[in-house]
Structure 1
Amino acid sequence: MKSLYPLKFKAQYLDKIWGGHKIKTHLGKDFGKLPNCGESWEISGVQDRVSVVENGFLAGNNLEELIEIYMGELVGDRVYEKFGVEFPLLIKFIDANDDLSIQVHPDDKLSKKRHQAFGKTEMWYVLQADPGAKLNLGFKEELTKEQYLEKFEAGQLMDILNFEEVKAGDILFMPAGRVHAIGRGVLVAEIQQTSDVTYRIYDFDRRDSDGNTRELHTELALDAIDFAVPDSYKTAYETKKNEPVEVVKCDYFTTNVLELNKKLECDIHKLDSFVIYICLEGNCELEYAEGSVSFGKGETILVPAVLEQFFLNPKNGELKLLEVHV
């Protein structure tokens, strides 16, 4: 059996009523004849949207098929033991040309009970934001379930929600249970658990072309919401040249920010996990024992767990990456 290598996947572009054109204009990705593009799914194990390899001899095979064949060599032994052939993360770019609905995701326990699925903890890295653009993250102050419901039923939900103005480079972590929404004018990279369970709380009373409003999940959401308020909704961090800076570490994934201007040697054998690189700026040559793979801004690459040592080599100046593993 031929050896594994760094894998690139075909992006899956989703037309959304709230989508725009920044995935093309800012990230250089061609979403074809779609009128707009709300999401680009970069790496996915979600059923009906499983990613397909686009480079090397494995081109045309989907991610689930590869995990069935290579198992721990691809995802890491401990990851395979926990998740089997289901890839545990979903990587996306999201372009909000209009406000997304206010929503919440259940945690693993509630999601398994109701949907036989994992919950959804996620994070956003802000790639670009128009002046004054905001995100909803949780509440202004801690509430009881009863206080929340009273405000909701009185049509005063927006009065109790917390909104944060954002700029490029901001990082927001959303554990399952935190109410959130992406506001208009924001482009983000999203890292999340593989789950499609979402409870829509409020959709600004919008109607589709047939005059219908979208379904709300008021009762389902009530038991999923975490009403606690953290000290800060934004993740504080400072980058360091040519070394990873950990910005998120949770039970489901760890994310580092990498800013490079010289070649960096990487050794991942202790992780027992695949590693994903999301290119935010610049161009990179990923060099490993049997060859190299290039990728640039707007591209995502998966390094199999079996490739324990490799180099990240910036091309033509500065390189900025997100590095993600389980």
Structure 2
Amino acid sequence: MSIRQPLRLEPIFLEKIWGGRALQPLLPEGLPVDKNIGEAWCLADREGATSMVAEGPFKGRTLGGLMLSEETALLGRTQPDPDGSFPLLLKLLDARKNLSIQVHPDHATAERMGPSLAGKDECWLVLSADEDAEVFLGLSNGTTASEFAEAAGTSDVVALLTSYPVRSGDFVRVPAGTVHSIGKGLVIIEVQQNSDTTFRIYDWDRKDQNGELREQHVESALSSIIYDQDGLEPSPPEWHEQGTSMRAQLFEDESYQGELLRIHELFERDTDKRAGALFVISGQGRIRVSGEEEEQSWSIRSGQTWLLPADLGPHDLLPEDGDFQVLALRSFRGRQS
């Protein structure tokens, strides 16, 4: 069955000890009441957490279910993850407190640790930042593996990290094996490979709801760290004119691609027979597709996530109201087993 239309997805909300309410104005659905929401999973296909289509003929269908019945229409030339799941995970994060100092393994390391684990790269786009907001990325110059191992699991590890101030609009790439933490006062978009494997190194002496210190995974973390990471400094996007619109390439590798678009006039795109997605950062516009019989279009607005099936093919983005800005993603392949 062909799917020649975009699919709007409902977010999945996760309460976190470090979360808050800052995602409320960003998402048209609103947040669950009386909960500190740390994450909104906007595009997800994980066991127990798979996105649901919000409207149209596929309303109520889950992404996991569509991957079982309509994989070719959704993915086209994109390769799924080894377990058959959709290969991207897109989140919004609200960090009212520092997140744990942590690391994600690369694929080879995760595979050695066990069949249920998976490595991942990820990247962040800062949507808002308090005046003193910072991120921790990589180890400070001269830190040795033995020094870090001795400090891991304690507050001494903080002094061995490199911190960077960040502001709204900054982009951060976090390769697998990089020790990192998102600092308090940040709202970010996080794009990553479809894995949730995280090893905590230090969690700021936080306690869980039972009054116990939160679990740390020091041994696994030390086995996952790549100590010679460089080029991690956050930076603003480099914008280039495309007609009267603007385009900024954020990242591209063998797994996925992302770019920012500020759309001031009709903007032509093509899925190139690969799966993709749009997250509307601000403003309002339309996705227009010219079909064999008639032209169709869908209104899209700030805070919405739209899955673009490979079958969608050529389509236009048209501005309607406000500063119409979107994050556009394209997936090439999932994790390699």
* TM-score exceeds 0.5: yes
AA of the residue aligned to 2:32: G
Query: What secondary structure, in the 3-state scheme, does the structure 2 residue paired with 1:141 have?
Result: coil
Which of 309, 312, 324 aligns to 2:314? It is: 309
Residue 109 of structure 1 corresponds to which residue in structure 2? 108
Measure how far apart 1:246 and its partner are.
1.4
Residue aligned with 2:52, SS:
coil
Supply the AA of the counterpart residue of 2:270: D
Partner residue, 1:247: 250
Alignment map for 1:148-167 (pairs within 5 Å): 148-152=148-152, 155-167=155-167
Q: Could you say if the C-alpha distance between residues 141 and 315 of structure 1 is closer, same or farther in structure 2, counting changes exceeding 3 Å?
A: same
Indicate the larger mover: 291-300 or 305-314.
Answer: 291-300
Following superposition, the deviation at residue 15 of structure 1 comes to 1.1
> C-alpha displacement at 1:29, in angstroms?
4.2
Task: Report the secondary structure of 1:17's partner residue.
Answer: strand
Partners in 2 of 1:325 and 1:179 — Cα distance? Answer: 26
Match of 2:133 in 1: 133
Aligned partner of 1:324 in structure 2 is: 329
For residues 197-251 of structure 1, the C-alpha deviation after alignment (integer angstroms, 9 at most, x for no partner) is 1100000111134320011111111110111241442245321342532111123
Q: Quote the Cα distance in structure 2 between the aligned partners of 1:301 and 1:97.
A: 27
- Determine which structure has the larger strand proportion and give its number: 2
**In structure 1, C-alpha distance between the alignment counterparts of 2:152 and 2:65, rounded to whole Å:** 45
2:297 aligned partner: 292
In structure 2, do the counterparts of structure 1 residues 237 and 70 end up closer, same or farther at CA, with 3 Å as the change threshold? same
**SS in structure 1 at match of 2:148:** helix
Work out whether residues 240 and 259 of structure 1, in 8 Å CA contact, stay in contact via their aligned partners in 2: no
Instruction: Give the alignment's TM-score, normalised by structure 2.
Output: 0.90
Name the CA distance, whole Å, in 2 between partners of 1:61 and 1:255. Answer: 26
Counterpart of 2:335 in structure 1 is none
C-alpha deviations, 1:280-316, integer Å up to 9, x for none?
1111211112411222111111111111100001111
SS of the aligned residue for 2:67 comes to: helix
Greater CA deviation, 275-284 or 235-244? 235-244
CA contact (8 A) 1:265 1:310 kept: yes
Determine the structure 1 residue equivalent to 2:212. Answer: 212
Cα 1:23–1:236 change in 2 (3 A) is: closer
Indicate how the Cα distance of structure 1 residues 93 and 235 shifts in structure 2: closer, same or farther if over 3 A, else same.
same
Moved more, 3-12 or 190-199: 3-12
Question: Unaligned 5+ residue runs, structure 2?
Answer: 332-337
2:334 alignment counterpart: none
Alpha-carbon distance in structure 1 between the residues aligned to 2:248 and 2:188: 19
Relative contact order higher in (CA < 8 Å, ≥ 6 apart): 2
Q: CA deviation at 1:264?
A: 0.3
1:100 counterpart residue number: 99
> 1 CA distance for matches of 2:309 and 2:66?
11
Superposed CA RMSD in Å reads: 1.9
Identity %: 31
The question of whether the paired residues in 2 share the 8 Å contact of 1:19 and 1:96 is answered with: yes
Q: TM-score, normalised by structure 1?
A: 0.93
Give the direction of change, closer, same or farther, for the CA distance of 1:232–1:36 in structure 2 (3 Å limit). Answer: closer
Aligned partner of 2:266 among 254, 263, 266 = 263
